[in-house]
Structure 1
Amino acid sequence: MAGIQLTTLGRTELTRTDGGSILSVLAQPKRLALLVYLVVEGSDRLVRRDSVATVFWPDSDQSDARANLRKSLYYLKQSLGPDVLVTRGDEEVGIDPALLECDVVILLSGGPVEAEGPFLDGFHFTGASVEWEDWLGAVRERVRSHAPAQEAGEPADGVVPQRHEEGDGSAGDPVEGTGPMRPFRHFVPTLVVLVLAGFAWLGLRDEADRPTRYDRVRLGSGAQFLTVVQRHYALPPDGSGILFRDSVDRRQGTWWKGQGEIGPTYVDGLDDIFGPVFSPDGRWIAFSRDGGLWKQPLEGAPPVLLVDSISDDFNPGIAWLAEAGILYEDRDHGLRLLDEELGTIRLLATAEEVGEVFHVRALPSGEGVVVTGCDGWCESATPRLSYVDLERDTVVALRSDVWMAWPMSDGRLVMVDSRGAVFASAFDPSDATLGAPVPLLEGVRVAPFPDVTVGADGSLLYIAGGRDRFRERIVWVDRDGRRKTEISLWPDSSRVGALSLSPDDDRLALEVITDESGQQIWLQELPDGALAPLTEGPARARRPVWSPDASSLAFVTQVLGADDQWDSWVSTLPTDASTTTRRTLLRHDEIIMEVAMTADWSVAVVRTGDAAKGEGDVVFTRLAGPAVWQGVLDSGANEYGLALSPDGRWLAHVSEVSGRPEVYVRPFPGPGPRVQVSREGAVAPRWAHSGNELFFRTLNPEDPDGDTRFMVVAEVTTADGFRVESTASLFGTAGYERGPRVPLYEVTADDQAFVMVTSVAFWDWIDGDVVYSRSWYWSDGVQAKLHGS
């Protein structure tokens, strides 16, 4: 039996033999479609990559399409394992049927299968091409011809019938569209869902007899899913569907997606709205447009302008208070209540009291309002939650780092913080106190605000994700490309700009780039010790280099001056963290971008100027005595990626003198001829500690700015001048970060492994997927958490 099972008839599943779902593929519709295509077309023969690229990226030029295919195949390998995909060079690809078994392939080859319905029933992915739809239709026709219907109620030949219990939630079950938007309903009532209950990656597991259910919902072809759900999405009080503003089928507007409806319905009269919210009876929608507060009935009457001047459309902070009252933020960022019955507008709280309003909701009792706000622009401030008591006319601060809060009828508040974590606390309005927080859900996308909303009935809608779409990891890779060790310990919002391995392989110096501290040097104790910053801002610290005894690091310090011009020099710091005061080692008249040292730290080589702009030179100086700079490279072309041989006699570097990046070696400090090592484009030279090998990464001619292709080793001799004896590719490097100018990898002391950087999906959901859970708050799983059972 194959180790992976792909089910496509009636339901779509991808599981391992242990029963675990491969969510990183299932949650990516286009990636799943690519896998299905390769399984059907490439199980008995290999398929040309150009043919595959034409189906999935027909509007891209050939190089872009092939680059997209390479990246997609890389991620499939990461999810399925390295051997499931079979390739022949760079031209053909297929699937090993011994490792992945698919029901439709068995059916088409004449074997018996258990089928619950048609091939990829209801399946769709954003941006699906005509070529894909044609292929899908052709396969469905082949499936029908191999499994013809017999008599009504009888199974087709070779197909074992499956029985659905009423209400089992399968994809083919019709669900009647109901609720306040039913006049707009006209689509066939089917809804493609993915039940995700019990999966730890969602932060929830079923703790009762009835699971908490999560459905992945398609809102329409081409939808962009504008960030910040509160600005563009609304849930009716009965949980009957989703109202959202987006572009569907290239038509911008407001749409209604009812329960069970296969596609959304365009809603007339609600173009260019922000912050829509349903009235408690579900008959009206309030929203902002053109700087005013409006409401519109759902039965066809025109909108009504209520207030002609409110706060920024993009963040209106609107909510209903009973049937006649609407809360909104005015131009001065005060929270106001419009009472239509009395014809009055009342100021409830000022910006000084609650901040500039981000989100507001009324308690079900109507006695008060919970509001979140920021002191200034919310993208750069921490939000806080406050309670406005309408009877006492008081404002009480409740909690910081709460972006949104939704009062529930049981007296609790459901809240979400800046990490995308959803939690609940009991709330007593009589004394404005919050109980202990109870975690309910993690994994809400924050971009830059949490993309989640909770309806009055407890339904949940959110976009899956995290604080960042990707985060980087450090991996140890042997010479055959096998990963040995992996660490991911720094903040999720950070990136790695450079790295340097200590001489005895026990510590790793990282140039870590974060929004909070900029570019600083961090030290990682290996293999699994603490990661801690060595330098601190505001000055940048870049391009670390270890001293021979590992007692200190040299690095480039960069400071932005008062004239907005950068100044830089080479600094050192002890690695025992005994001080954070940097000692200046070298200065140059030009900005220093990169530094390399001989093994004994007697000579420093630096690159000055910005190679990306065609500026700068490569110069060197001896460290004993005052700096006397001498030129090394003067070709006039961009040159970077400096690497000195262990004996200090040879300088490897990248030069664009030929019009594309290539690796060269020349005597150091010279004179002597340079020798070209690479032939088809390459970057990132690194010497083996033995001095007998030079590593580098080759470029893809079709996408020279994208992922590199291979890690290559050149066997060299240096006794009688520099000579390349042979070169060989070690492993593919697609998916490993390359760095802009400096080699973003290191070689271990025994020359048998590499320390590399890879980006991985923080959550493997793409734009176009949202998660919906009807009556989520009242489900057994959530209630069990709230009551500690």
Structure 2
Amino acid sequence: MENPSNREQIRALFLAALERAPDERAAFLRAQNSDDEVRREVASLLAAHADAEAPGGHETGVSDRAAPRAGGAKRLDRSATLQSGAKLGPYVVVSLLGAGAMGEVYRARDTNLRRDVALKILPESLAADRDRLARFTREARTLGVLNHPHIAQVHGFEALGGVRVLVMELVEGQDLAQHLARGPIPAAEALRIARQIADALEAAHVRGIVHRDLKPANIMIREDGTVKVLDFGLAKACLDDLGSATPPADALAAPPTMTTQPLATEVGVLVGTAAYMSPEQARGGAVDKGSDIWAFGCVLYEMLTGARAFHGASAADTLAGVLQRDPAWDRLPDTTPPSIRVLLRRCLRKDRRERLQDAAGVRIEIDDVLHDPNGSARSPATPDQARLDQSSPVGATSRHRWWVAAAAIGACGVALVAYAVVGKRPVEPRRDQPRQATRLTASAGTESPSADLRFELWPERGTSYASSFDVPFALAPDGRSLAYVAVGHDGIKRLWIRRLDATGEPAIEIAGTENANTPFWSPDSAWIGFFNRHDLLKVRPTDRRVRTITTHASAMAGATWNADGVIVFAGGTGGLSRVSAEGGPVAPVTAGEGSHFWPQFIGDGRHFVYAALIPREIRLGSLTGEPSRALMKFPVAPSSLVYARGYLFFGRDSRLFARAFDEATLELVGEPIELLRGIPITQLGRMPFSVSADGPLAVWPYVAGAPATLRWLTETGATASVVETPARYLGLALAPDARRLAVSRRDSNSGADVWIRDLARSTETQLTFDGNGFAPRWSADGGRLVLTTTTTVPPRLLVKSLQRPTPDFELGGSLLPAFASSWCGDGVRIVSVRIDPITRDDLYVDDLRGGRAERLPINSPANEYQALVSPDDRWLAYVTDESGRDEVWVASFPSGQLKRQVSIDGGTSPQWTDGGRELAYISGRSWLTVRSFAGTDIDIALGKPRELFDAATFVETSPLVTPTTNSYVAAVDGRRFLAAVRANDPDVPPIQLIVNWRTLPRDR
């Protein structure tokens, strides 16, 4: 790995070499008094620069141009090119496609999936550098979530045949650079291409991924006209280490090429294709999605004119033009629509604060022209311009003049006050300064102004919004307040209230609301209902006194309150329940009909809509005993719901929709109207948004689950780090040899996959790749894992062998969702949890020998879950809420003839320790507690509970998500515990408040 001195030498030598003619650079390098490592690194950077500047300088697409012959390819670190027929794991090499500083690229055949792929063989200099390889690995994993029709997909990153291989989609066709070599592209065709590029950028940006080197050579056009954008962020990951210091003032004396900002934390020397670099890149600044917007503008300009927007005799001259000159706007053809001329100017604003902030806004402008080529002079009063802007929640697209926005403010008093809080100019928050509570983000320019106003709502300094499996905030019906759940200075979640109609007033933390979740309001905005781990409570903002409505109730999946004081909530995996807001008995409303979530009263206060998991439907229920009925189907998975003034709001594929509802006929009418994109949805439908009856819409584009680090904890509470990088864990399992750890980890798109970590080597291997793997459990011999897969409906058990070529196989062919809980020591039986619509969570034993599943006799009409078989297969520890509260029990296995309660004041997450002689669990007051255990044929003996340490910082588990998820595991000796401990995420976005959802046209 290069040291700081080497980095400076590499930088200086690289810039000096670029001053020479290309054919003189090799001799210049040989003449330098530098070590071989420095010269090799500079040679690789020069090769990358040559690739970037050359037409078609991409590596992952197969263009119409003939690929270089093997003998003529640039050599990196390998001594021989792979020959046709060579095998790397399941891949058979077909031919060499190209080579560059980032490695050699081959066409290969995937013999498992029977498809052709592109294999990028990384150079040895990168593969041998642990830090750079780790960064590249993280980058590749991040890019793996980009499954989009206009993005060349990364299939995997593997070690095969002694080399590191990036497996990518093979894209065949012609790159845009080749297309442009024939001259400008007609406007209609150019806009069709540009629209697909913008769609690709939008999909990447909502996941926090920036391309960093968008150019025609990285854009492939297939024969059917489909566009594929290549190489998102990969070059940045490969050259991560060069120059971590801010460049000197004379850095423009030679051309930079590609960003080297390590994981977006340091600003470094910039490297890339000069003609498409933004001004901030040219100055050595940080790269963000605004830089991609600039590059997009350069590409669109080039398609329309046939000439580069910025071009000089050298790269340095080109960059000087980027900083000092505007494109030749008069070169745009007369056929360019006026709105596209405006779009180009806004993409190519040198001040990034004035530049278009969102690829969604770009896409929408192009869509408008493609759908209505002659509509550039539309009246602002048309429904198309009156609707909410279909852009990402972060950053607004300006589509109307400022006076239209001012009129919207006047129509909504809360917006007027919020505007006064922050003044008339946006102020970009800095991480080293206190955040403003509310910040105006709507554009007030004179070009393409917008009707919707957006504000950013940040939590109080030192706190962070809580990301669990619920929707952690709710707007008051009158639009004047926001109730939200945040993690305070002490690391505990509580309810907070922010007034939106009070200038500069801070949010207020409500004492007595520890572990709050799922806030919701009374219809008069006078009360806030919420849940903690076991109870349903309420608080009045005026006096902040917390009252208990009912005990033994937990939510995480929505609640609603009508004008008669009736609360309907999702109390578990069965149907919905009701209770009076004044307290009293809890009664079923839709019990026995399946898993129902996210209820919402409509205007009459008698009927309510809700989401049904199986089948995937929005249904209409009633308090008066009328039969429930389906209103519409969810095409993919359910989402949380909000009903407000004749509109039902719901999600689909990370997009928020509204659909009109006729309260007279109790039917949905018209087609769904798409409002926003980029709001993650979990498997059970958690989609973080809220709508007020009197105006604002609030969204939070943040994935579910609290980020956590993995740490060893001893009986004394001492800790040792295992994984410091925060991630969202959905289940942990230690292998029997305690050398490997299997984890389920959620990605930025809310999917989850299973990984295996070698604890001694600190390396990881990905086991599943479909975003549907939860709660892994080891077999006793350590050779297999059973996990829950949600690729099927309902979820089933998936057994994966770690000893190839044994095939995977599924268990659980019934209609009940099945979740893996524990593997018996005999290796042929698996304890699982199945969700029954009548008896709720039940424990089963699945036998691998015949595929049979038997329900255990210890089940009750309540929930039984989180079951673990003892090391000798004689006992079963599990959780049940039969008493009305979660408690840990132990029973003889499988008969259940002997039973004994283990926890005293509530408990979850049992773990066998010390060879089965102790039971550990998390108590009702969140302490990790152990009790000695001894069982015979006639009796069970338990020792006195012994509290070890506070476990309140462990990540939450929710049986509504998966009833077998755990947040910690015990080591074999019982002296250490490996836990997922909550961690701060510095990149948590603010809640976005959008003022005018009511401008939606009601005649659609």
Fold conserved between structures, TM > 0.5? no
If each structure's strand is expressed as a fraction of its own residues, which one has the higher value? 1
Determine which structure has greater relative contact order: mean sequence separation of CA pairs < 8 Å that are 6+ residues apart, divided by chain length. Answer: 1
Q: Name the structure where helix makes up a greater proportion of residues.
A: 2
Structure 2-normalised TM-score?
0.33
TM-score under structure 1 length normalisation: 0.40
